[in-house]
Structure 1
C-alpha cells in the first residue's frame, strides 16, 4: 500500500488551529518593595512568555499562603526576588492557553492547578502565569477553580510531611499543631487516611470540624496545655514553632524516645535540631516539593471525597491586601483564595 501524504493545510485551516492571540499586558497584584499589606496593589505588567517545557496558564483563582505574607513583609523568599514590581503567589487554578507543543500532556484548553516557580518567575496573583510542566496536574472535575486554587501548596506540604517524612501508618500517633490551618487541615486528613491516630491542636470553634476531618483528639490551644494531655507521640508536625508560647520546645516533652519532630515554619525556632538531638529525638525541617505527579494523586483523593479542601473566604484580585491582613490575623480555617478572572 502506497503512502499518500495528507493534503497540506490551507491558510484558513492553520489560522483555526492556532490559540487565540494573547494580550501583551495583564493585571496583577504586585509589590514595588517589601513591607506591610498596604504595599500590595493592582498594576498592569507584561504578560509572561513561557520557554522550553513551560506552560502558560490563564489564572482563574490563586491561593493565599503564609509564605506569601512573609515574603511581602521582607522575609520568606523575598531575598530571591529578582526585580520589582513583582506579583506574589504560588498556588493557582486555571486554563492552559499556551503549551510547549501540540501533543503536550496539557494542551490548550486544559483545566489545571499547581504551583508556579515564584520568585524565580512571576507569581500567581496575576491574570497569567508561566508554570513548569512537572508542577502541573489536571484540576479535579468535582472542584471549582476557587476550591482547586486552595489545594497545591498546602496539600503538597501536608503530603510531604505526613506521607513522605512521617511515613504515616496504622497505630502511629501523630500530633499536628495548628490543625485547622491551610496545611494543617490537609495533614489531619492524610494522617487519618493512612491509619494514624491524629491529635490536633486548634481553637475551640474548630474542634468539631477537626474531628470530622479525622482527628481523634483535639486540644484547645487557648485553654489547655497539650503536654498535659498527651504523651508518647511518635511524630510531632509543628506548624507553629516557638513564635507562640514556645510550642516547638514544649513539643519535645510529648515525644516518645526516638520520636520525630518535623519543624515547618522557617526561622520560627532556629535551634530546634540541636535541642531535639540533645534529648535523643530525631528532627528535621521541611520544604515543599512542587511535584505534579504527587498533586495528581491528591487530585484523585479529592475526586473520591476521601479528602476535602476548605476555603474560608474569597477575595477579589484588587483585595489582595485585605486577604493578607485577614491571613495575618491568624484565625483562618483552611484557605483564603483570590478570584482572579471568570471561569
Structure 2
C-alpha cells in the first residue's frame, strides 16, 4: 500500500511517500481501506517531535473515514469513521491507503456525510464533546465564551453548545467565517484585545458560566478573567507558552473551576464511543461538518502538512 511515513522528526519535508506492507486482520483487529483522512495541527506537531511517546518510523494521522475490507463478516463493506490518540503516535496512523484498527473501534459513519466530511470531524468534535458535555457539563440557558471560535475545535464547541440550548460568545482575533457553522450560530463576537474581558462581562452580566479556551497559553489569563463566580474554564492547548501566571487570590475568591482536557488520552476504541454519540446529531442535521479548505492526494501530503502548519482556515483533507 502507499503511505506517508517519517523516519526522523522535523518539518513536513521529512515525510516520505512510499510503499509499505499491507496490514492484515486478526482475531481482534480489522482492516479499513482509508478513503479520506484529515490533517490536524497535532499531526504536524507529531511529525516535528512534539510528542515524546512517538517512536519513528511512523505513519502519522488520527482522523479517518473509510470502508472495512477485512474483519468480522458483519462489518465487511461497512462505511466507518474514527479517530484516536494512539493511531499515528504509538501505532501507525491514517495517512495511508489502509489501516488496522481494533474491532472494538469500528463505528459506522453518518450516512449523510461524504468520506471527506466524516474524516474532518474526529479530533475536533471529540475534544469539544469532552470539554463541553463531560467536564463543564454545560446546561441550557447558560452562556459559554469560546476562545478560538474560528478554529476547528472552537467551531465544534459552538455547535455542541447551541444544541444544548446555550448562548455562545465567540472570542477570537477575527470573526468566524459567516459561511461556517460557527459563523452562523454565534450570538456575539468579541475581538481579542485589551478590552476583551470587559466587553464579554458587559454582554454576560459580569461573566460567563463556561469558558472553552481552544487557544491556551497566551489566552489563559483572559480565559480566567471571563468566568463568573463558580464558572468553569476548559483548557486544551498551550499556544505560545506552556507556563502561565495568574492571580491566585482572584482565582480562589471567584471559586473558578479549571479543567484540563486531553483527547490524546483516548485511544481509537475509546474515541469510537464518543463518535457513536455524535452520529445522530449529524444525521438529524443538528451538527454540520466543518468547512473543508483544501483537499490533496496522498502523494502531495507534504504540501498538505505545510498548509496546516501555515494556519489554513478550514480543514485540510487527504484523499487516498
1:313 is matched with 294
Residues 215, 82 of structure 1: alpha-carbon distance in 2 compared, 3 angstrom cutoff = same
Residues 276, 293 of structure 1: alpha-carbon distance in 2 compared, 3 angstrom cutoff = farther
Residue 304 of structure 1 deviates from its aligned partner by 0.9
Contact 1:273 / 1:284 at 8 angstroms: preserved in 2?
no
1:55 is matched with 30
Residue 270 of structure 1 deviates from its aligned partner by 3.8
Alignment of 1:325-336 (within 5 A): 325-333=306-314, 335-336=315-316
2:144 is matched with 174
Secondary structure of the 1:291 match is helix
Which of 92, 109, 112 aligns to 2:77? It is 109
The normalised TM-score by structure 1 is 0.81
Structure 1 CA distance, aligned partners of 2:244 and 2:105? 31
Structure 2 CA distance, aligned partners of 1:277 and 1:69? 38
Contact 1:199 / 1:218 at 8 angstroms: preserved in 2?
yes
Work out which of the two has the higher radius of gyration on C-alpha atoms and give 1 or 2: 1
CA displacement 1:149-181 (0-9 Å, x = unmatched): 001221111111111112121121111111122
Structure 1 CA distance, aligned partners of 2:238 and 2:106? 25
Which of 56, 61, 64 aligns to 1:83? It is 56
Which of 198, 207, 212 aligns to 1:237? It is 212
CA displacement 1:95-121 (0-9 Å, x = unmatched): 00111x335xxx111110012532221
Contact 1:191 / 1:197 at 8 angstroms: preserved in 2?
yes
Alignment of 1:1-343 (within 5 A): 26-75=1-50, 77=51, 79-84=52-57, 86-99=58-71, 101-103=72-74, 107-116=75-84, 117-118=86-87, 119-202=89-172, 203-204=174-175, 206=177, 209=180, 212-221=183-192, 225-231=195-201, 232-242=207-217, 246-265=218-237, 270-271=242-243, 279-280=251-252, 281-288=256-263, 289=266, 290-310=270-290, 311-333=292-314, 335-340=315-320
Residue 205 of structure 1 deviates from its aligned partner by 5.9
Q: Which moved more, 1:162-171 or 1:127-136?
A: 127-136
CA displacement 1:206-261 (0-9 Å, x = unmatched): 2564665421112233x67421311211111111112xxx2111221111122222
* Gapped regions of structure 2 (runs ≥ 5): 202-206
Residues 59, 210 of structure 1: alpha-carbon distance in 2 compared, 3 angstrom cutoff = closer
Residues 291, 273 of structure 1: alpha-carbon distance in 2 compared, 3 angstrom cutoff = farther
Residues 27, 191 of structure 1: alpha-carbon distance in 2 compared, 3 angstrom cutoff = same
Residue 185 of structure 1 deviates from its aligned partner by 1.0
Q: Over aligned residues, Cα RMSD in angstroms?
A: 2.3
The normalised TM-score by structure 2 is 0.87
* Gapped regions of structure 1 (runs ≥ 5): 1-25
Aligned residues: 303
Secondary structure of the 2:107 match is strand
Secondary structure of the 2:301 match is helix
Structure 1 CA distance, aligned partners of 2:19 and 2:250? 53
Secondary structure of the 2:73 match is coil
Residue 317 of structure 1 deviates from its aligned partner by 0.8
